[in-house]
């Protein structure tokens, strides 16, 4: 496979070793293993450029400060990789919770931004954001949509103000399992209400496909009921509508595949079913459909971020521990960059 472009850089995510794993599911896959498999992936001489990292146990101790950041940097650098976007461990402090919950949320963002700033200063993190979500379930949010949306906005505003002190941007990942972010309309409304220069959207192709289907928000459905997945033109029209609304906000991007169903594993609530890159049940034409996010309505490259990341949460360990899985993923990432990248 010929490599045409140098940008955006290609990253793998480390958190699929944790998400959906644990005591009520399969064993966690260690950070060391995730880094080893990422570094070993290769397609015609092309390798991953870096990793995006979840700053949560057991991969990382958020309270380890600058020393923890240095240990993380050394570990990643030993594999010839760089670090990009970070995930703040905000789930102990739901944004619609008590004042103490909201304080916990903001404190986790602050600690994550301190880590991010340290990694930037060390030179191993040339770009990337800090990812957040509302850490609040849709059913809890629905008990008081107006009041809870106001709480989410206020919590995000506080988090943005803290992040600004560290020169960091926050990206809210639209996922159907997070209240106030569970549909494309709610996501746009939340971002607009936060009204901070350093907040944006993290688009994940798997999760945003479910936006078009109206999961958890039927009134915002775009694809018709009983949609025939063989009709690509209808799907592309739906993706155009979603991306027209959210692309202007998008500052981080996950390449992913989805089979049009929801899925949850272990303690992780139901969300988009990330499929393997080569899954025959995948509903997306990944390389083509990534273009709706990476190019504007005129077809011009946005160049809104300098790296893209593969997200494949909740694969079984049997799948994740096969090197072929990561080679197939890398091959898909190269196709996306060849189609929508630059040099």
| pLDDT tens-digit series, residues 264-293 | 555 455 666 678 999 999 999 999 999 999
The reported pLDDT for the residue numbered 263 is 66
Could you read off the pLDDT of 91-104 as tens digits, one per residue?
Answer: 999 999 999 999 99
Q: Which of these, 122, 132, 117, lies nearest to 82 by C-alpha position?
A: 122
Q: How far is CA 302 from CA 4, 25, 181, 238, 298, in A?
A: 18, 40, 24, 20, 10
Residue 93 in 3-state DSSP?
Answer: coil
Element (H, E) at 128: none
The reported pLDDT for the residue numbered 207 is 93
Q: What is the pTM of this model?
A: 0.96
For CA atoms 182, 185, 8, 109, give the dihedral sign. Answer: negative
The reported pLDDT for the residue numbered 167 is 98
Q: How far from chain centre, in Å, is Cα 72?
A: 20
Assign domain 9-340 to its CATH architecture: Alpha-Beta Barrel (3.20)
Is residue 295 within 8 A of residue 336, CB to CB? The reply is: no
Is residue 178 within 8 A of residue 246, CB to CB? The reply is: no
Going by their DSSP bridges, the two strands 9-13 and 82-87 should be labelled as: unpaired
Is residue 331 within 8 A of residue 2, CB to CB? The reply is: no
Give the C-alpha separation, 74 to 93, whole Å: 30
Q: Which of these, 225, 321, 329, lies nearest to 274 by C-alpha position?
A: 329
Give the C-alpha separation, 91 to 134, whole Å: 8
Give the C-alpha separation, 194 to 147, whole Å: 14
The reported pLDDT for the residue numbered 77 is 98
Going by their DSSP bridges, the two strands 257-263 and 50-54 should be labelled as: unpaired
The reported pLDDT for the residue numbered 272 is 61
Is residue 243 within 8 A of residue 293, CB to CB? The reply is: yes
Is residue 174 within 8 A of residue 158, CB to CB? The reply is: no
Residue 171 in 3-state DSSP?
Answer: strand
Tokens representing 94? 């739901």
Going by their DSSP bridges, the two strands 9-13 and 307-310 should be labelled as: parallel
pLDDT tens for the chain, 343 residues long, are 777 899 999 999 999 999 888 888 899 999 999 999 999 999 999 999 999 999 999 999 999 999 999 999 999 999 999 999 999 999 999 999 999 999 999 999 999 999 999 999 999 999 999 999 999 999 999 999 999 999 999 999 999 999 999 999 999 999 999 999 999 999 999 999 999 999 999 999 999 999 999 988 999 999 999 999 999 999 999 999 999 999 999 999 999 999 988 765 554 556 666 789 999 999 999 999 999 999 999 999 999 999 999 998 778 899 999 999 999 999 999 999 999 999 9
The reported pLDDT for the residue numbered 274 is 77
Q: How far is CA 332 from CA 12, 98, 255, in A?
A: 12, 43, 9
Tokens representing 205? 């192709």
Residue 145 in 3-state DSSP?
Answer: helix
Is residue 118 within 8 A of residue 158, CB to CB? The reply is: no
The reported pLDDT for the residue numbered 215 is 87
Is residue 96 within 8 A of residue 140, CB to CB? The reply is: yes
For residue 27, say if its preceding peptide bond is cis, omega within 30 degrees of 0. Answer: no
Domain ranges of the chain: 9-340
For CA atoms 159, 9, 333, 312, give the dihedral sign. Answer: negative
Give the C-alpha separation, 245 to 331, whole Å: 29
Q: How far is CA 137 from CA 15, 91, 109, in A?
A: 20, 11, 19
**Cα atoms in the Cβ-side hemisphere of radius 13 Å centred on 10:** 27
Q: What backbone phi and psi angles, to 5 degrees, belong to 96? A: -95, 10
């Amino acid at each position: 496979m010929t490599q045409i472009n140098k940008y955006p850089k290609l990253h793998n995510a480390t958190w699929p070793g944790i998400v959906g794993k644990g005591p009520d599911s399969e064993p966690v896959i260690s950070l060391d293993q995730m880094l080893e498999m990422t570094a070993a992936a290769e397609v015609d001489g092309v390798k991953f450029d870096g990793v995006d990292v979840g700053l949560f146990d057991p991969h990382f101790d958020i309270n380890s400060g600058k020393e923890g950041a240095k240990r993380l940097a050394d570990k990643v650098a030993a594999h010839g990789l760089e670090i990009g976007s970070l995930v703040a461990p905000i789930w102990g402090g739901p944004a619609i919770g008590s004042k103490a919950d909201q304080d916990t949320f903001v404190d986790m963002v602050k600690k994550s931004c301190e880590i991010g700033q340290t990694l930037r200063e060390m030179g191993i993190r040339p770009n990337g954001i800090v990812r957040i979500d509302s850490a609040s379930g849709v059913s809890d949010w629905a008990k008081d949509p107006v009041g809870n949306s106001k709480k989410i906005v206020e919590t995000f505003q506080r988090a943005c103000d803290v992040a600004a002190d560290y020169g960091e941007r926050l990206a809210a990942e639209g996922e159907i399992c997070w209240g106030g972010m569970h549909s494309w309309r709610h996501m746009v409304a939340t971002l607009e209400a936060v009204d901070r220069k350093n907040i944006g959207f993290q688009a994940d192709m798997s999760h945003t496909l479910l936006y078009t289907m109206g999961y958890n928000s039927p009134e915002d459905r775009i694809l018709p009921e009983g949609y025939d997945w063989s009709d690509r033109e209808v799907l592309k029209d739906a993706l155009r509508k979603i991306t027209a609304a959210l692309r202007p906000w998008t500052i981080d991007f996950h390449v992913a595949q989805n089979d049009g169903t929801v899925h949850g594993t272990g303690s992780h609530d139901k969300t988009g079913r990330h499929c393997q890159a080569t899954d025959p049940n995948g509903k997306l034409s990944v390389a083509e459909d990534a273009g709706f996010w990476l190019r504007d309505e005129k077809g011009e490259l946005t160049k809104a971020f300098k790296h893209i990341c593969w997200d494949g949460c909740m694969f079984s360990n049997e799948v994740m521990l096969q090197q072929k899985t990561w080679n197939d993923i890398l091959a898909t990432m190269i196709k996306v960059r060849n189609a929508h990248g630059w040099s």
